[in-house]
Structure 1
Amino acid sequence: MKAPLAIVTMVYNESTFLPVWCRHYTAQVGDQACHVIDHGSDDGSTDALGRVSVTRLPRTPQDDTRRTRFLSEFCAALLEWYDAVIYVDVDELLVADPALFASLPDFTAAMPHGGVATAIGLDIVHRPFAEPDLDWARPVSLQRAGVRFSSAMCKPVAIRRPVQWAPGFHCIDAPPSFGRLFLFHLRYADLGDGLDRLARTRRQPWASDEAARHQRMSDVEWAGMLNGMAHLPLRQDGDWSETDMVLAQWVERVLRSAESREHDTYRIDLHLSGDELWRLPPRFLGAF
């Protein structure tokens, strides 16, 4: 008999996001089914996680190819002990549609044996002209109104068979398979904390000068990008149900983009971004 679900992330000095990640996912699967891979943190952020499972690795320059290879193997090994495994970055919170599922284990239990589930990716967007700084001790969904669709966040996150993720965890060696699973990305949820994290990722060693340029852009570039998203029109009426045609059209665009990429490392177009913000439907308020 296997346990239902393990949830995995990998971190380095994530004192802001890691407590949020732990609060969200331990509520879903319990402490010991949450696995934090600590890549050499030295800020104390992984020292007091209670019964959360922590695996400590020596610090090395950030290498996304090495990282995804390791985590693909780690998650595959966990499948010996769990029916399903989820991998998400520390700034990514998954919610199975509350209209259909009580929890993430309920969602993964409904996946076919050997299946993989792709999340519907949404950036939480801070609108500084209308919203105060985020209080990370409170649910994010009660403090931020708008999200933006992002194909880059449409990640294959839940697995019931071993997979090999591409660098960045955006794709595997199979086309996307969407279910009623939503990924809320926190990178743009707060202007000030986003700039603080950007300063840290700029300072850390990287295996390649060309890798992850979006993690090393200037403050001016990053703030300008967030400001552009914040000023998109805010759509009020979407309910994100299976009959919501606006959401369905964006998901369909991602699926169509995969049709000519079956031999590519990245199986979808990662640059499909919403042209408006969507207000969170009431059933998601308080869910993360």
Structure 2
Amino acid sequence: MQTAAALTMVRDDAFFLKAWLAHYGTLLGRENCYIVNHGRGGMVAELAQGCNVIGLPGDPHRNFDIKRWRLLNGIVQGLRNYYRHVIVGDVDELVVLDPAAGTDLLSFLADTPAKRVLTPLGLEVIHRIDIEPEPITGPILGPRRHVRPAPHYSKPCIVSVPTKIARGGHYTQYSRIHTPDHLYLFHLKFCDFDAYCEVMNRRNDTVAATGGTVKEVSIGRHWFAEARGEDRAVFEAFAALPLREGFDMSATRRRMRRSFGPRGETGYFHFDRPEDAAQFVLPDRFSGLI
């Protein structure tokens, strides 16, 4: 049985797909990468050569996220028959192992027991446009050094047990929490101002084509133009976040473990996700990892 596979679904997001492929294609091998090509885009198929690509119709439709996660759940459980661990998530979310662990992600997963769900700690890479003027022409980390805590992206995304993942990937029906000390989920949505504007334009167009409301389309409100706000103001606001010294996330992980429990009567489990208005500078050891 192979150690690990990575799975995502994408439509036209070349910037994030390139980062996803560079990361998982290098760590796991492209033969262990699975990409659902929503809309059968030629750009996605070309970039993902050597991966396992599943083409889907791209007609606008409602209940998009419900259908998407229904499909991803099925693929995850199928891949579990061939891999010990399956990493699943959006194309702008990458699981990263802190180099301080002394090994790489694939070796870490090879030594991690199966029959569990791993929950990396979520960090959002933010583009400080006031002090980071250089464009992204290669690796993201290095030109971008600032992150903010993102509890909403502490997702149970590494699966090696039969379970159901909730829409959006935020919860599962697995009744325990495993959040290893060196494991992170980097959310890249805000890692580059120009890329953000391009992606948001496409997402606004996608949901507008369905003709539905937020509830009818069943996807995040941030995909809708009316909830977008002014792009430059969003990024300028990052400078006001208090800068914390060091890079110690142990207290956050302790809160995750202490607060873990049933999510009402839904059959899912979760932990408290308090907002933490702060930012950190990533240590140099992270530069070039993604």
TM superposition score normalised by structure 2: 0.87
DSSP-derived class of the 2:276 partner: coil
User: Cα 1:133–1:266, aligned 2, differ >3 Å: closer, same or farther?
Assistant: farther
Q: Which residue of 2 aligns with 1:261?
A: 263
User: Cα 1:265–1:228, aligned 2, differ >3 Å: closer, same or farther?
Assistant: farther
CA distance in 2, matches of 1:66, 1:22: 24
Q: Which residue of 2 aligns with 1:44?
A: 43
Q: Which residue of 2 aligns with 1:198?
A: 200
Comparing 59-68 with 42-51, greater Cα deviation is found at 42-51
Q: Which residue of 1 aligns with 2:150?
A: 150
CA distance in 1, matches of 2:232, 2:162: 38
TM-superposed deviation, 1:216: 1.7
Query: Equivalent residues in 2 for 1:25-174 (5 A)?
Result: 25-42=24-41, 44-60=43-59, 61=61, 63-135=64-136, 137-174=137-174
- CA distances 1:11-50 after superposition (whole Å, capped 9, x unpaired): 0111111111101111101111011111114362323422
CA distance in 1, matches of 2:272, 2:194: 26
CA distance in 2, matches of 1:266, 1:217: 31
- CA distances 1:129-155 after superposition (whole Å, capped 9, x unpaired): 1111531x4111111121011111100
Which runs of 5 or more residues in structure 2 are unaligned? Answer: none
Q: Which residue of 2 aligns with 1:14?
A: 13
CA distance in 1, matches of 2:71, 2:254: 31
CA distance in 1, matches of 2:273, 2:19: 27
Which runs of 5 or more residues in structure 1 are unaligned? Answer: 239-243
- CA distances 1:55-111 after superposition (whole Å, capped 9, x unpaired): 111114261111111111101101111121111211112111222252222222232
DSSP-derived class of the 1:16 partner: helix
TM-superposed deviation, 1:199: 1.0
8 Å contact from structure 2 (residues 132, 144) kept in 1: yes
8 Å contact from structure 2 (residues 93, 187) kept in 1: yes
CA distance in 1, matches of 2:206, 2:268: 26
8 Å contact from structure 2 (residues 155, 171) kept in 1: yes
Identical-pair percentage: 29
TM superposition score normalised by structure 1: 0.88
8 Å contact from structure 1 (residues 64, 168) kept in 2: yes
DSSP-derived class of the 1:47 partner: helix
CA distance in 2, matches of 1:134, 1:91: 18
The one-letter code matched in structure 2 to 1:177 is H
DSSP-derived class of the 1:141 partner: coil
DSSP-derived class of the 1:199 partner: helix
DSSP-derived class of the 1:54 partner: strand
User: Cα 1:101–1:117, aligned 2, differ >3 Å: closer, same or farther?
Assistant: farther
Q: What is the CA RMSD across the aligned residues, in angstroms?
A: 2.2
CA distance in 1, matches of 2:273, 2:231: 17
Comparing 202-211 with 53-62, greater Cα deviation is found at 202-211
CA distance in 2, matches of 1:38, 1:284: 30
User: Cα 1:142–1:169, aligned 2, differ >3 Å: closer, same or farther?
Assistant: same
User: Cα 1:216–1:7, aligned 2, differ >3 Å: closer, same or farther?
Assistant: same
CA distance in 2, matches of 1:77, 1:15: 27
DSSP-derived class of the 1:140 partner: coil
The one-letter code matched in structure 1 to 2:144 is R
TM-superposed deviation, 1:225: 3.5
DSSP-derived class of the 2:53 partner: strand
User: Cα 1:84–1:97, aligned 2, differ >3 Å: closer, same or farther?
Assistant: same
